[in-house]
Structure 1
Amino acid sequence: MSQLAQPGAGTENVADLRPALTLLTGFSPKATRATADLLMRADPTLFVVTHDLTDLLTGGRVHRIVEDGSGVVEDEHLTLDHGCLSCTLREDVIPTLVRLARANPGRDLVLVLPPALEPESVASVCSWSHVDGEPVAEVLRLDSVVAVCDPQIVPASLDSADDLADRALHAADDDSRSVADVVARQIEYADTVVLWAPDDDPDFEHARLSVLLQRLNPWARHLVVDLAEPAWVSSRLRRTGGFDPEGPDLYGRGLEGYAVGCHEPEADCGVVATVFKSRRPLHPERFHAALPTLTGQTLRGRGHLWLASQPDQAVAWESSGGGVSMGELGPWLAATPDADWAESSPERRVNADLHWDTDFGDRDVQLAFVGLHFDPDELTQVLNACLLTDTELAAGREAWREYQDPFAGCFESKDQQ
């Protein structure tokens, strides 16, 4: 990313002249579209790009519209060889943004994402892909990711047990993502979170959603839109430089020394947030038996954990809508040869050094939970009961590997014997 040079002798301010790209994400097409219109009112030169994917899976067809303050600039129907979301990104979304940026270097862009397209996917493709042999990042810069949250959509979606397929929103035939997962990720990945309620008087439900959004993403800027002030809204959503391409992965935050969530155990409008930490591993069977309690009491969970039965593998944790997703985060540094430490980020190495345990190295458990009206002390007791006892801990890792493990084979463990 181009930056302003630090002031000093012989230095000059270097302006980043690449067009700025703002991603608008959210599960309410009405709210994201209205936000885009508001930004276009503030700057008629702004390109707003949208993709209708209604016919993507059935016929591989995509409807792309590009607009600015003067009206529709492009209105194209195209058929892709492979009807999937990733192909749409690679074959049309990113090339369209690059083409517009090259032809109009002085004009910024807004990409309005359909509900099923998560902003992290777009950011990832922007970071590594090339168009006509040139890196995307050299043509335009991803400036900000804005999550637009509709009070009529978000609370119910976070508590929904539906999959995207249940609402005909899935991106591929094998897309098993849940509505709650996608909505949570949209909010958590954003650098700016907008509470969209322009036609409603503020009430308790709005206040509760505001608190919930801040607990889900305590690192973002949080705003409430005002339709009467498009210039004010634009100044806070565009060219903020809020997106950090070097920021920590959401589920690896704790490994790199960042907080995995906020600890706000006192209910605010009924919203409770708690963080659980331990330097002991979790017993796989007891932890598996506790899953219904953990997911049933909370709306969202995230972080990483240490399973006794797989002591060399850091495990990512994600829960929402009553479901759980776990995946590998690679080996603990304590289980990594010294020669391979350089493959980990400097932040992770420093964090490991600062918190190194004589017996277990950097292994630990860090889980954050957010929900409504749950008892954080009770949740902590449930998790504490899942940890190894002193006797189990003293038995050592070879004994732990022999535990019955309901999670065996659920994710790769490179060093597990």
Structure 2
Amino acid sequence: MSTNPITPVLSAPVDHRPAVTVLSGFSPGAVQAAARALLIADEDLLAVRHDIGAIRDGVVHRTVESATAVLEQVAVELRHGCVSCTLREDVLPTLVRLARTRPGTDLLLVLPPTLEPEAVAAACAHCLVDGAPVTAAVRFDSYVTVVDADRFLGDLASTDDLRHRDLHAAEDDHRAVATVVAHQVEFCDTVILWNRPATDRRETHRLGALVSRLAPWAVQVLVGPSPTLDCTALAAGVRRTGRHDPERPGMLGRALEGRQIAVHAPDAGDGVGSVLFRTRRPFHPVRLHGALEKLAEHALRGRGQLWIASRPDEVIAFESAGGSASLGSLGHWLAALPVDRWTETSDQRRLAADLDWDPYYGDRQTALAFIGLHLDHTWITGLLDACLLTYDELADGFDAWRELPDPFTGQL
């Protein structure tokens, strides 16, 4: 009689690094209230805050506190007054120092209103503290954004720049309020919908729908409309969730890795809609240039990647918010690179390209999303279709496309 040996089950190693929850949001009052609630729910939790109101003078003020005490409150002078210096010279070193001196204590990193969470993730990926990666000392558990029901739509629709509200971090900081607000929501994995007892329930529902179009990958946690707040329940919804994916690309690089950039839901009955537009055909540069401003004015938010016939080698990033549009470079299409350079890109991007490779265009394709209120799906798709190369223009081939007049020269 034979017996089967019992195969031991190996458990995953225990991660003893302190968990960091990154809390962002454009409404300081709502963010601070959420932070306070999380501290009350866990007396061992420490919150790290940086006031960058004087950053243009090269000074930031750091505070470290628990629910019951202020442990640190110091002014930090920077070599250069900029956000990246603040992250590199003080924010990340403070997290590492606290992790070493208070092992087992989780941390709550409360960002200033204009600091975008993606900047924190980028700094963590490239900066060393005492010669070691930041993630050797701490684990970034979740990126959480607080959305204030009373302010969010107004800020997302605003045409203000940060300098109009004296919130710019530097003289060359020309970011739009709407862009910062959109970036905070899009990069997060958890959204706290912060309501007040007087907030209209229909507006709360519409807010949730809008947030779900902006970040369909994020978990929503609703606060309100009760006059009392269950701090323990809030903490359970946002802390130690493990939702952050450190391999996730930034918003504008998602389509290149085959990831979702939006859901196609032109109107779900609440006035909130999102339109997803994909095509293999390239855009005519002149016709597209004339359409982008109209699209930016029609939608609260636009984002994605373009391929333009006059620039057949370049992946063009597109985003719009606050009524204006901007373009940037995402590098080269794989089809335009020698095969031996493909390893310079991520495994996920190469896999996505392989699964959707076109014999003629390669991985070249446009993927755009437009999000807003009462979107005209037919008008948006019709306008974009009219900007594509015609069949006669397609027949001219790549060499002829490169010679097309390009009004984007100097903008990329």
TM interval, shorter chain, is over 0.9
User: Which residue number corresponds to residue 153 of structure 2?
Assistant: 155
- Number of the residue aligned with 1:365: 366
Change (3 A) 1:200 1:304: same
Task: Name whichever of 71-80 and 116-125 sits farther off.
Answer: 71-80
* SS in structure 2 at match of 1:265: coil
Aligned to 1:409: 410
Q: CA RMSD in A?
A: 1.4
CA distance in 2: counterparts of 1:168 and 1:228, whole angstroms:
32
Of the three residues 129, 132, 135, the one matched with 2:133 is 135
Aligned to 2:182: 184
Other-structure match for 1:270: 271
Task: Spell out the pairing of 1:203-214 with structure 2 (5 A cutoff).
Answer: 203-214=201-212
What is the rounded CA distance, in whole Å, between the counterparts of 1:173 and 1:327 in structure 2?
21
Instruction: Name the residue aligned to 1:415.
Output: none
CA distance in 1, matches of 2:141, 2:152: 25
1:47-99 superposed Cα distances (whole Å, 9 cap, x missing partner): 01111111121x22211111102221111123223222111111111111111
Count of aligned pairs between the two proteins: 403
In the other structure, the counterpart of 1:195 is 193
Q: CA deviation at 1:264?
A: 0.4
Alpha-carbon separation, structure 2, partners of 1:361 and 1:245 = 28
Paired amino acid for 1:378: W
Q: Give SS of 2:312's match.
A: coil
Q: Which moved more, 1:144-153 or 1:76-85?
A: 76-85
C-alpha distance after superposition, 1:216-250 (max 9, x if no partner)? 00001011025531111101111111110011331
- Amino acid across the alignment from 1:16: D
Once the two structures are superposed, the pairs formed by residues 300-379 of structure 1 within 5 Å of their partners are 300-379=301-380
For the Cα contact (< 8 Å) 1:215–1:273, is it kept in 2? yes
Listed as ranges, the matches of 1:211-226 within 5 Å are: 211-226=209-224
* Contact 1:208 1:268 (C-alpha < 8 Å) held by counterparts: no
Instruction: Report if the CA contact (8 A) 2:216-2:263 is conserved.
Output: yes
**Structure 1 residue 86 corresponds to structure 2 residue 84:** yes
Give CA-to-partner distance per residue, 1:243-287, whole Å, 9 cap, x none: 100113311221211122110012432111110011100001000
CA shift for structure 1 position 44: 1.0
Partner of 2:4 in structure 1?
none
Alignment check: 8 A CA contact 1:312 1:332 kept = yes
State the alpha-carbon separation in 1 of the partners of residues 366 and 68 from structure 2: 54
d(CA) in 2 for partners of 1:387, 1:410? 20
SS in 2 for 1:184: helix
SS at match of 2:115: coil
Q: Is the 8 A contact 2:23 2:144 kept in 1?
A: yes
What's the counterpart of residue 45 of structure 2? 46
Instruction: Report the TM-score when normalising by structure 2.
Output: 0.95
CA distance in 2 between counterparts of 1:210 and 1:262 reads 15
| TM-score for the superposition, normalised by structure 1 | 0.94
Offset at residue 10 of structure 1 (A): 6.0
Structure 1 stretch displaced more, 252-261 or 210-219? 252-261
TM-superposition CA deviations, 1:341-368 (whole Å, max 9, x none)? 2222222222222222221111111101
Q: Which runs of 5+ in 2 are unaligned?
A: 1-6
Contact 2:293 2:325 in 1 (8 A): no
**Other-structure match for 1:33:** 32
State how far apart, in whole Å, the 2-side matches of 1:138 and 1:292 are: 45
CA distance in 1, matches of 2:8, 2:247: 28
- CA distance in 2: counterparts of 1:199 and 1:114, whole angstroms: 26
Deviations 1:278-313 (A, max 9, x none): 110000100011112201110001110100000111
Alignment match, 2:20: 21
What is the alpha-carbon distance in structure 1 between the residues aligned to residue 94 and residue 206 of structure 2?
39
Of all paired residues, the percent bearing the same amino acid is: 50
1:306–1:365 Cα contact (<8 Å) kept: yes
Q: Which runs of 5+ in 1 are unaligned?
A: 1-7, 412-417
Q: Equivalents in 1 of 2:28, 2:127: separation in Å? A: 27
1:128 and 1:136 in contact (8 A); partners too: no
Conservation of the 8 A alpha-carbon contact between 1:211 and 1:268: no
Deviations 1:179-221 (A, max 9, x none): 1110000000000011101333442222111100000000010
Paired residues of 2:118 and 2:250 also in contact (CA < 8 A): no
Distance in 2 (CA, whole Å) between partners of 1:201 and 1:175 is 33
Structure 1: how far apart are the matches of 2:403 and 2:108? 53
AA aligned to 2:308 is L
Question: Residue 185 of structure 2 aligns to which amino acid in structure 1?
Answer: I
Other structure's SS at 2:387 match: coil
Alignment partners' CA distance in 2, 1:141 and 1:67: 20
Distance 2:125 2:255 in 1: 23
Bigger CA drift: 81-90 or 319-328? Answer: 81-90
